[in-house]
């Protein structure tokens, strides 16, 4: 059945029904005064601060349904918004959704997309409090607004000279995953699209993917899939372990160099990045080698890592910040990389820019 045969009201009723499955928690949340169903949701937050972020995802720009299944896309929509709230050291709470899909879309695809969103809602312990559903004459267009609460948020502007610079996880995986996806053979593209990265993601060491465009070698699933998952269905990093130590924080969405430059702008400081300390995964290094890509370039300029980038005073031990790696030092001014031999180079902030790349 297609969406235009089902109709908006039936979809909304079904969303409300599914929603009741996990809305038992609503009654237990005294901060929700009015939930879904009125002209607006009403909240009565007990925290000192309410945080708001909003992000868009468009078919053909932010995602490609030829290799991404819709469950991953729905989950990513939630993750990227959660990442912004986490990046302020706050607690993600209330989600508002806008979804526009073509009337010819199969209703199964709608529910696949929604299942990814639901998975995100459960994973991050959010509550869906409203939104808007529309037909589209063209591509699928999604946006979400997420509210968070905090009693002690962290901005981009608190970094001080002498602070250390940290990142969580590993850098460049998502960008490398995208490069892998772009080069897949038609056959492997179908295999990847069929994988449910959010519910049952288990790389199988026995399988491998193949490429087109003159790349003769194949790549093990165990190398490719973690990178592809990082691109198609990224998890947002929890920031609570760093909240009390961090002097400034943001998430890396456009690439390390452009994002650390923004943090330095807002904090009016400089930085030195120790290139030999950048955390990279063995999968990324292996895949980049196989595809002839510059792993270091992917790590510093690759977008959509959704890792946390933060600064903390030098008297905090790296061991007290589990999951984070010290990659540099905040300075009075200047923005430089420092190689293992001590060579300094000025940082060139480069990253994805909408319109400029169309």
Phi, psi values for residue 282, rounded to 5°: -65, -30
Region for 100 from its dihedrals, namely left if φ exceeds 0, alpha if ψ lies in -120 to 50, beta otherwise: beta
Nearer to its own copies, 223 or 267 (CB): 267
List the beta bridge partners of residue 85: none
Location of structure tokens 């400081």? 269
Location of structure tokens 């400089």? 270
Smallest gap, in angstroms, from Cβ of residue 205 to its own copies? 37
Nearer to its own copies, 173 or 259 (CB): 259
Rounded to whole angstroms, how far apart are CA atoms 81 and 51?
11
Contact 19, 97 (CB under 8 A): no
Smallest gap, in angstroms, from Cβ of residue 331 to its own copies? 22
Rounded to whole angstroms, how far apart are CA atoms 215 and 299?
22
Smallest gap, in angstroms, from Cβ of residue 227 to its own copies? 24
Rounded to whole angstroms, how far apart are CA atoms 350 and 147?
30
Nearer to its own copies, 141 or 284 (CB): 141
Nearer to its own copies, 92 or 172 (CB): 92
Smallest gap, in angstroms, from Cβ of residue 218 to its own copies? 31
Nearer to its own copies, 6 or 297 (CB): 6
Smallest gap, in angstroms, from Cβ of residue 158 to its own copies? 11
Residue 2's SS3 state is strand
As to burial, measured by CB atoms within 10 angstroms (0-12 exposed, 13-18 middle, 19+ buried), residue 210 is: middle
């Amino acid at each position: 059945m297609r969406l235009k045969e089902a109709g908006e009201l039936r979809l909304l009723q079904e969303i409300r029904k599914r929603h009741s499955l996990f809305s038992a928690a609503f009654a237990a949340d005294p901060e929700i005064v009015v939930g879904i169903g009125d002209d607006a949701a009403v909240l009565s937050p007990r925290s000192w601060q309410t945080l708001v972020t909003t992000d868009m995802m468009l078919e053909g720009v932010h995602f490609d349904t030829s290799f991404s299944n819709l469950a991953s896309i729905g989950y990513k929509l939630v993750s990227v918004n959660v990442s912004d709230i986490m990046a302020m050291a706050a607690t993600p709470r209330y989600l508002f959704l806008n979804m526009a899909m073509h009337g010819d879309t199969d209703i199964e695809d709608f529910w696949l997309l929604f299942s990814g969103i639901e998975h995100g809602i459960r994973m991050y312990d959010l509550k869906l409090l409203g939104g808007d559903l529309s037909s589209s004459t063209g591509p699928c267009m999604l946006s979400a607004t997420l509210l968070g609460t905090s009693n002690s948020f962290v901005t981009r502007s608190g970094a001080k000279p002498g602070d250390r610079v940290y990142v969580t996880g590993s850098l460049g995986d998502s960008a490398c995953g995208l490069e892998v996806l772009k080069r897949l053979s038609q056959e492997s593209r179908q295999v990847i699209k069929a994988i449910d990265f959010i519910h049952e993601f288990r790389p199988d060491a026995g399988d491998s993917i193949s490429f087109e465009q003159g790349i003769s070698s194949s790549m093990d699933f165990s190398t490719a899939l973690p990178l592809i998952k990082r691109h198609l269905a990224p998890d947002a990093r929890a920031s609570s372990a760093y909240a009390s130590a961090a002097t400034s924080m943001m998430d890396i969405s456009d690439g390390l160099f452009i994002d650390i430059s923004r943090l330095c702008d807002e904090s009016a400081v400089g930085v030195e990045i120790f290139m030999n300390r950048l955390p990279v995964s063995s999968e990324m290094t292996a895949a980049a080698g196989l595809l002839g890509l510059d792993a270091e370039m992917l790590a510093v300029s690759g977008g959509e890592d959704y890792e946390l980038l933060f600064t903390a005073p030098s008297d905090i031990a790296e061991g007290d910040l589990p999951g984070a790696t010290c990659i540099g030092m905040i300075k009075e001014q200047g923005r430089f990389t420092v190689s293992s031999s001590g060579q300094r180079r000025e940082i060139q902030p480069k990253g994805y820019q909408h319109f400029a790349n169309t």
